[in-house]
């Protein structure tokens, strides 16, 4: 449905999107994640034809957004982070204006407005001024305008930002329903929301795609659980004695004692954490020690997000540091070259000054000699006259 290839967007020397490529299939809800400044909104604006690209292509159902903008835009419904609402109009008036702008007329226009308001549950608000509606209802009106024209793709940029918990739940349910009939791309900072709604997730950092897949696969592939916490009815010395015979355990961390029980967190380098857990349980059973709790730390989308984006940040910082060192070294080389050139020029000027001085001295000597010869000639001529 959507193909993005080598998409790049530059603002002067700043790269907002860097060689971004991905493909989105029809009939799913996709989450679009990334920290502030990662390039999410820029990418969405390019995909909807609201912003040009420095390089790359975007195709919507085979139509290039730059070469065939009219055909491509007809397939897209877009809700920006700030809904483009006319606050002095009613939802019916506003949706009529948007529908007509999309080419709808007559009975078809009225039908799609009615269906959009029913789908977004704003029918009762149809004749109220938009300025008098709550933020949640304003978001619903924004989603309703995105649905006009029966687009195949719905792109929603932060649709739940600023909403209260009840409104967020209602918008989530609405997006799930939209995903049954449309391809939905959802941008959000609420990771639990994306994990609950989306079939697949894209994560970008510094304009680059760092992960793309189903939430469960991302968490299992990128962050398999490797931390075990136990609480035992035994003192620290005895717990250490029992655990010393269990293989693949590292980094024991004992919590501060607040009772007679001992709680310890440990990491394992085993391929199968469940085998290690079974070995711990068996070790305590063999030593007649009571194990009150054994828990595995399960990875979630937040862990994946932090690992990927922090890794990208570290890589960018390292690159920036390298670039800075290279620039500094370049400046030092240029300064050394300028200093050498300056010294060479100064030496050349000194030689030229010396040559000028030598020439001046020779000229003065010649002039004095010529003046002496002239005086002698004058004397001789005077004597001859007498």
Q: Residue 340 — very low, low, confident or very high, per pLDDT cuts 50/70/90?
A: confident
Average pLDDT, the chain: 83
What pLDDT, on a 0 to 100 scale, did the predictor assign at position 318? Answer: 42
Please say if the pLDDT value at position 162 is more than 80. no
Confidence (pLDDT) at 241 = 93
At residue 320 the predicted structure's pLDDT band, cuts being 50, 70 and 90, is very low
pTM for this prediction? 0.65
pLDDT of residue 264: 92
Q: Which residue's structure tokens are 């070790």?
A: 283
Quote the percentage of the chain above a pLDDT of 70. Answer: 77
> How many percent of the chain have pLDDT more than 90?
44
Cβ distance 214 to 229 under 8 Å? no
In this structure, how many other beta carbons lie within 10 angstroms of the beta carbon of residue 179?
Answer: 19
Strand positions, DSSP E, 71-134: 76-79
Residue 196 has pLDDT above 90, yes or no: no
Rounded mean pLDDT, 138-161: 92
What is the Cα–Cα distance from 192 to 136, expressed in whole angstroms?
19
pLDDT band, very low/low/confident/very high, at 257 (cuts 50, 70, 90): low
**Orientation angle between helical segments 236-243 and 273-286, nearest 10 degrees:** 120
Q: In this model, does residue 131 exceed pLDDT 90?
A: yes
Residue with tokens 């194990």: 291
The pLDDT, as a whole number, for residue 314 is: 46
Cα(253)–Cα(237) distance, integer angstroms: 13
pLDDT reading at 153 higher than 60: yes
| Mean pLDDT confidence for 325-346 | 66
Find the range with the poorest average confidence among 49-63, 92-106, 286-300, 329-343: 329-343
pLDDT in tens, 73-99: 999 999 998 888 999 999 999 999 999
* Cα of 190 vs its chain's centroid, Å: 15
pLDDT > 50? residue 29: yes
Rounded to an integer, what is the distance from CA 28 to the centroid of its chain?
A: 23
Instruction: Return d(Cα 317, Cα 311) in angstroms, integer.
Output: 10
Q: What is the 3-state secondary structure (H, E, C) of 76-90?
A: EEEECCCCCCCCCCC
- Write down the pLDDT at residue 319: 46
| Sign of the alpha-carbon torsion through 340, 343, 344, 345 | positive
Confidence of residue 309 (pLDDT cuts 50, 70, 90): confident
What would the pLDDT profile of 52-71 be if each residue is shown by its tens digit? 999 999 999 999 999 999 99
């Amino acid at each position: 449905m959507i193909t993005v290839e080598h998409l790049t967007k530059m603002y002067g020397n700043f790269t907002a999107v860097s060689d971004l490529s991905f493909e989105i299939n029809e009939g799913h809800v996709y989450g679009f994640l990334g920290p502030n400044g990662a390039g999410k909104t820029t990418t969405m604006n390019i995909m909807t034809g609201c912003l040009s690209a420095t390089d790359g292509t975007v195709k919507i159902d085979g139509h290039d957004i730059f070469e065939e903008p009219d055909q491509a835009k007809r397939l897209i419904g877009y809700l920006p982070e700030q809904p483009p609402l006319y606050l002095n109009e009613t939802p019916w008036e506003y949706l009529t204006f948007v529908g007509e702008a999309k080419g709808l007329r007559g009975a078809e226009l009225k039908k799609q407005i009615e269906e959009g308001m029913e789908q977004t549950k704003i029918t009762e608000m149809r004749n109220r001024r938009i300025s008098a509606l709550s933020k949640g209802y304003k978001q619903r009106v924004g989603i309703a305008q995105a649905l006009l024209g029966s687009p195949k793709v719905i792109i929603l940029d932060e649709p739940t930002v600023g909403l209260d918990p009840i409104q967020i739940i209602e918008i989530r349910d609405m997006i799930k329903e939209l995903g049954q009939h449309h391809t939905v791309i959802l941008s959000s900072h609420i990771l639990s929301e994306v994990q609950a709604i989306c079939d697949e997730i894209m994560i970008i950092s510094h304009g680059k795609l760092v992960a793309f897949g189903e939430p469960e696969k991302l968490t299992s592939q990128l962050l398999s659980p490797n931390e075990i916490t136990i609480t035992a009815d035994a003192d620290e010395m005895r717990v250490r004695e029992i655990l010393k015979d269990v293989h693949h355990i590292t980094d024991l961390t004992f919590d501060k004692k607040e009772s007679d029980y001992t709680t310890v967190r440990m990491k394992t380098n085993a391929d199968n954490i469940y085998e290690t857990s079974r070995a711990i349980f068996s070790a305590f059973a063999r030593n007649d020690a009571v194990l009150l709790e054994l828990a595995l730390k399960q990875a979630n989308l937040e862990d994946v997000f932090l690992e990927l984006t922090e890794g990208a940040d570290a890589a960018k910082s390292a690159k920036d540091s390298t670039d800075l060192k290279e620039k500094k070294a370049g400046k030092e080389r240029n300064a050394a070259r300028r200093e050498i050139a300056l010294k060479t020029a100064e030496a050349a000027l000194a030689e030229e000054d010396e040559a000028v001085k030598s020439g001046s001295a020779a000229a003065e000597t010649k002039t004095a000699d010529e003046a002496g010869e002239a005086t002698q000639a004058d004397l001789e001529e005077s004597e001859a006259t007498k």
